[in-house]
Structure formats: structure tokens, C-alpha cells
Structure 1
Amino acid sequence: MNIDPITLAVILDCFQHREAREATPSGRVTVSSKVTLLDMQENQRSTVTIVTPEESNPETGAISVLSPLGAALMRKVIGEIVCIPVLGSSMRYRVLHVGT
């Protein structure tokens, strides 16, 4: 059986990402986590997915891990609060749910 190098690279990359996801402690925010947040100032819920910068699309809720919110959420668990500085103030969010 012959597999071209590009296909092999894609297959190996998929396995590496799966292994990384399986090794992540459950309940903690990581890349690919879907996170439900409570905006503590507005008392509104929203759901975002933490993604790589290349996959980022804030209009659809895909937030880059390198964005202020994405970076602040990394490794958080349900119940924790994150504060994001915005124009001399700060936005506060409580983590309500972490899923995949």
C-alpha cells in the first residue's frame, strides 16, 4: 500500500490532535473547547469556541486562543471568573459550561 507524503502528514496530524485532546484534563478550557459564559455586567449568556488563529471568526463565535478573551479562558474550569481589560475598564465573565 502506497500513501503519498501529504496524506500521511494529514493522518499523523489528526492522530496527534486527538491524542492531545484525550490527554487534556476534562472540564478545563483548551483549544477546541466550546465554552458557555455569563457576562456579569449584562447578565447575558453566550457561547464561544476556542480555536487557532487561522480558524478564528468572531462573528460565528470562533474565538482565537491568542485573543484577549481566548487567552484568559485557557485552562479555566466551570465557575471561574475571567476579567478582560477593555478601554480603561474590564469585562467580567463567569465560565458556566465547558464542552467539546
Structure 2
Amino acid sequence: MMYGKIAAAALLAGSLAIGGYALAVETAPASQAQPGKAGDAGALTVPQLVERLAVQGYSDITEIKRHRDKNYKVEARDPQGKRVELAVDARTGDILKTEKDED
């Protein structure tokens, strides 16, 4: 009789724990529940972006702006030392467009 009560209590506790977890996952913000599916999830941080550009030879970065949700607008010096404005993919760091800066 005692083992039956213990087993029932253990099953009840386990069910409550699983139900609580399921509720937490359902009510979590989309960026936490499904990483990479919403908001800024998957976007490079500014330090990551600067590091990727530096590896490609860009320097003297003076301005970084988030342009729309998918791109960064970056003002920097290219590997030849000329001022440029870059459009950079926020997720990959790929340079989408380069324009000479009118400096």
C-alpha cells in the first residue's frame, strides 16, 4: 500500500514538472523559444561585425548603423585606405555593396 502512494506521488510530481516545462516553452518570447526565427536572433553583434571587416582589410570604422533589419551601414577605410560606405549583411557579415565616400 505504501509503495502505491509513493509511486503515485512520483508520477504526479513528474507530470507537473513536464507540464510546467511545456507551458514555459509555449509562453516564452519567440526569440527565446525558436532561436534564429525572429527579431535579432542570428544577427552579428557590432564587435563581431568589426572583427569580420578587419579580417577583410577594412579599418578606421567611424560609423555603424543598423539599416533596416537585415543590413548594417558601415563607414570605414578599405584595404587601399580610401573612405567607403558599406552595406553589410547583418547575419553573415558579407559585404553587399561598396560605395566611395564623398569625403
TM-score category of the 2 structures, normalised to the smaller one: under 0.3
Higher relative contact order (CA 8 A, sep 6+): 1
Bigger-Rg structure (1/2): 2
The structure with more strand, counted as a fraction of residues: 1
Normalised TM-score (structure 1)? 0.28
